[in-house]
Amino acid sequence: HEANDPIDELVNAAHAYCVTATPSLVGFLNWFDAGEGELKREADNAEGLVRVMTVHGSKGLQAPIVILADATGDPGASRNRGLAMPDPRDERRLVPLPSLRGEERVGAIADHYDKERAAEMEEHWRLLYVAMTRAEEALFIGGALGARDRGEPSEDSWYARLRAMFPTDSEVDDPIWGGRIDWGDPPQEAGPQVTRPELPLGEVLPPWLTRAPADDPRPPRPLAPSALGEEDAPDPPLPPGSGKQAARRGVLIHKLLERLPEVAPEARGEAGGAWLARNASDLAQHVRDEMLQGALLVLAEPGWEHLFAPGSLAEVPIVATLGERAIAGTVDRLLVEEERVLVVDYKTARRPPDDIDGVPRPILRQMAAYVAALEQVWPQRRVEAALLYTSAPRLIVIPANIIAEHKAGLTSMQ
């Protein structure tokens, strides 16, 4: 039952996201990760309930009796471990270092080890405060000693720090622990335990509840619209070994068109160049410049501003059902308006067609599949499709009659 509340809150968050954005798992995870909300679990008054949890997990909870059962642990026992230091050239990156002995830690490494140690100790004592303030009536502090402790807990352990609050001669015999030190009023005698009456057993479970369900036929694989456009292309055959380069070029241009619309127009050139330098540093500078220039020409093309305006969506995953087939894919650009939905797919062909007559039929089937899927999501809106050839650049809007012709054959495809 402990998991019910957080699961309910997660479902509520998913419903809230669907109201304000296009429903998708990737989009929800990004939205949830970027949010600043906090799930706080409230303590309940259930009697006879024992919780075993970490101090972190107890935040926001209180109980009449709290037991710190591992208060003799040494916070420095695992001190000799690896370290991650900021890169001097780029502090946003971390450089992992192996475990080092004391004499090997010098200069900036020694300073960083000291800072890490101080931060760990600060967190160690902060957690002690959190643990102690969970108790409403009684707080028990104890632990076990290991062979390395040599009969005494570490001086930085919670037990040793709290033991110093008590007089040295205040220990009394205890039949369970051998010795005990008390502070505060002694506990009162518990009253008679109240037993709850047992409820009568209900009827025997019906037979159908214990029978395994019948095996369902395995559903067909989801139809991927992007796969429908792979068998044909307007380009001549690529030279041997250049297929991977062409595919990578297409991916990089797609990524630029995904990221640069969110950057101010005057800063797009610098931002795109920096992104390519980080993610395609092995490519020659003139190759990166050619890809960046192509993306900038697309974004600056007159009349296309609405495709990349705020509110338009990039790399949108879609899932829908068409007849008995599932359609699953990712659209490059999606524009959702009050009366229509426009889906745009980027094409990086080296020789783009001049008009709709030159577009290969497999690509038209791909766009028809996108339209069919989006019509399931927005049945009350007009769904249109277009192809954006980045090398021209050229935008080819696909007429509705051509979309309808290719949609008719989707349900029969295997």
Asked, for residue 133, whether it belongs to a domain, the answer is yes
53 and 139, same domain (yes or no) = yes
Phi and psi for 37 in degrees, rounded to 5?
-70, 160
228 pLDDT band, cuts 50/70/90, is low
Going by C-alpha positions, the residue among 117, 115, 112 that lies closest to residue 95 is 112
CB 395 within 8 A of CB 345: no
Residue 399, token pair as written in the block: 């007429």
- What is the predicted pLDDT for the residue at 234? 47
Going by C-alpha positions, the residue among 42, 77, 355, 376 that lies closest to residue 223 is 376
At position 60, the amino acid (one-letter code) is G
Asked, for residue 171, whether it belongs to a domain, the answer is yes
Residue 99's Cβ-count burial label (10 Å; 0-12, 13-18, 19+) is: exposed
Give residue 182's region: left, alpha or beta (phi > 0; psi -120 to 50): beta
Asked, for residue 4, whether it belongs to a domain, the answer is no
CB 383 within 8 A of CB 341: yes
DSSP result, 352-376: --SSGGGS-HHHHHHHHHHHHHHHH
Give residue 338's region: left, alpha or beta (phi > 0; psi -120 to 50): alpha
175 and 259, same domain (yes or no) = no
276 and 168, same domain (yes or no) = no
At position 354, the amino acid (one-letter code) is D
321 and 402, same domain (yes or no) = yes
Residues 396-403: what's their mean pLDDT? 94
At position 33, the amino acid (one-letter code) is D
176 and 71, same domain (yes or no) = yes
Rounded (10°) angle between helices 25-34 and 4-20: 110
Asked, for residue 109, whether it belongs to a domain, the answer is no
- What is the predicted pLDDT for the residue at 399? 95
pLDDT tens, position by position, 246-296: 888 888 998 999 999 999 999 999 999 999 999 999 999 999 999 999 999
- Structural domains in the chain (count): 2
| Torsion (CA) 300, 301, 302, 308 in degrees, nearest 10 | -70
> What is the three-class DSSP state of 96?
strand
pLDDT tens, position by position, 287-332: 999 999 999 999 999 999 999 998 899 999 988 877 777 778 889 9
Q: What percent of the chain is predicted at pLDDT more than 70? A: 82
229 and 300, same domain (yes or no) = yes
Residue 103's Cβ-count burial label (10 Å; 0-12, 13-18, 19+) is: exposed
Map tokens 């989006």 to a residue. Answer: 374
How many whole angstroms from its chain centre is CA 218?
Answer: 30
Higher pLDDT, 381 or 228: 381
Residues 373-384: what's their mean pLDDT? 92
Residues 385-408: what's their mean pLDDT? 92
**Element housing 317 (H / E):** strand 313-322
pLDDT tens, position by position, 24-40: 888 888 888 877 666 55
Whole-number average pLDDT of the chain: 81
Higher pLDDT, 23 or 202: 23
Residue 289, token pair as written in the block: 């410049």
172 and 236, same domain (yes or no) = no
- What is the predicted pLDDT for the residue at 219? 60
Q: What Rg, from alpha-carbon coordinates, does the chain have?
A: 33
Residues 92-100: what's their mean pLDDT? 77
Domain of 262? Answer: 225-407
Residues 216-220: what's their mean pLDDT? 64
> What is the three-class DSSP state of 28?
helix
127 and 269, same domain (yes or no) = no
328 and 238, same domain (yes or no) = yes
Residue 49, token pair as written in the block: 């309930």
Q: What is the pTM of this model?
A: 0.47
pLDDT at 232 over 60: no
Asked, for residue 18, whether it belongs to a domain, the answer is no
51 and 157, same domain (yes or no) = yes
Other CB atoms within a 10 A radius of the CB of residue 2 amount to 10
DSSP result, 276-316: HHHH-TTS-HHHHHHHHHHHHHHHH-TT-GGGGSBTBEEEE
CB 330 within 8 A of CB 315: yes
Asked, for residue 229, whether it belongs to a domain, the answer is yes
Find the angle CA(218)-CA(362)-CA(413) to the nearest 5 degrees: 25
65 and 173, same domain (yes or no) = yes
231 pLDDT band, cuts 50/70/90, is very low
149 and 277, same domain (yes or no) = no
- What is the predicted pLDDT for the residue at 221? 60
